């Protein structure tokens, strides 16, 4: 940004807070000296409408956004998940080693349990399915082609009449006997 659009320290702090909270009013509460909700709401709304602040927010969002190549790379890493090298003799995960190898992004959660923390990992099957779909190996669509060869109406009706004739049996009461 040029000098004419230099942000004040408070504006920069508000942007930093907004990127954490994604809430303009909460970002204003963290930065500005006010306890009045409507004042903080006004500051947040006004900051979002200022072109220079909006441009800086957009730039910072683009900077943080994951591109398509990175997304595919991370899904590929999750699809090929092998935790074998990180499982210790006692069955626990070596989180320190995972951190050193840059594999902690494969952890989706840590849940407290009676035996300590339960480590939840990405679902490699879901990642493989997503990648298969991306590469066109799976589809959510079913293409059906129906070929209909119309016949002249007269032939079609005549054919139906013949089928119906074959299915019906005439009943003649005069030929029925009781001896059968």
Of 18-22, 26-30, 139-143, which gets the smallest average pLDDT? 139-143
SS3 call for 130? helix
Tell me: do 60 and 88 sit in the same domain.
no
Is 73 a domain residue? yes
Sorting pLDDT into bands at 50, 70 and 90, what band is 54? very high
10 Å Cβ neighbour count for 55?
12
Q: How many domains does the chain have?
A: 2
Where among 96, 114, 130 does a domain terminate? 130
Is 152 a domain residue? no
Mean of pLDDT values over 73-92: 91
**Residue (of 91, 81, 79, 172) closest to 126 by Cα position:** 79
User: What's the N-to-C CA distance of the chain in angstroms?
Assistant: 107
CA distance 54 to 44: 12
CATH number of domain containing 24: 1.10.10.1400
Q: Is the pLDDT of residue 156 over 60?
A: yes
Tell me: do 42 and 79 sit in the same domain.
no
Is 159 a domain residue? no
- For residue 179, what pLDDT is reported? 53
Where among 45, 64, 83 does a domain terminate? 64
Is 165 a domain residue? no
Is 135 a domain residue? no
Sorting pLDDT into bands at 50, 70 and 90, what band is 180? very low
Where among 85, 112, 130 does a domain terminate? 130
Tell me: do 55 and 106 sit in the same domain.
no
Tell me: do 74 and 113 sit in the same domain.
yes
- Mean residue pLDDT of the chain comes to 84
SS3 call for 133? helix
Is 160 a domain residue? no
CA distance 139 to 161: 44
Tell me: do 59 and 94 sit in the same domain.
no
Residue 174, both tokens: 């005069």
Q: Is the pLDDT of residue 36 over 80?
A: yes
Is 148 a domain residue? no
Tell me: do 77 and 42 sit in the same domain.
no
Mean of pLDDT values over 66-70: 84
Is 54 a domain residue? yes
Domain hosting 83: range is 68-130
């Amino acid at each position: 940004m040029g000098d004419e659009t230099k942000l004040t320290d408070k504006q920069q702090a508000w942007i930093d807070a907004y990127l954490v909270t994604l809430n303009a009013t909460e970002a204003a509460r963290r930065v500005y000296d006010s306890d009045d909700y409507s004042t903080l709401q006004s500051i947040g709304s006004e900051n979002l409408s200022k072109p220079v602040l909006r441009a800086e927010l957009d730039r910072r969002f683009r900077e943080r956004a994951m591109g398509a190549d990175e997304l595919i790379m991370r899904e590929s890493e999750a699809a090929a998940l092998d935790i074998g090298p990180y499982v210790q003799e006692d069955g626990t995960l070596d989180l320190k080693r995972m951190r050193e190898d840059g594999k902690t992004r494969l952890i989706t959660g840590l849940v407290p349990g009676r035996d300590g923390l339960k480590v939840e990992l990405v679902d490699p099957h879901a990642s493989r399915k997503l990648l298969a779909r991306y590469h066109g190996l799976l589809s959510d669509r079913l293409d059906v082609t129906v070929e209909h060869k119309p016949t002249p109406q007269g032939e079609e009706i005549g054919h139906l009449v013949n089928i119906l004739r074959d299915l019906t049996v005439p009943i003649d009461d005069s030929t029925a006997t009781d001896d059968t």
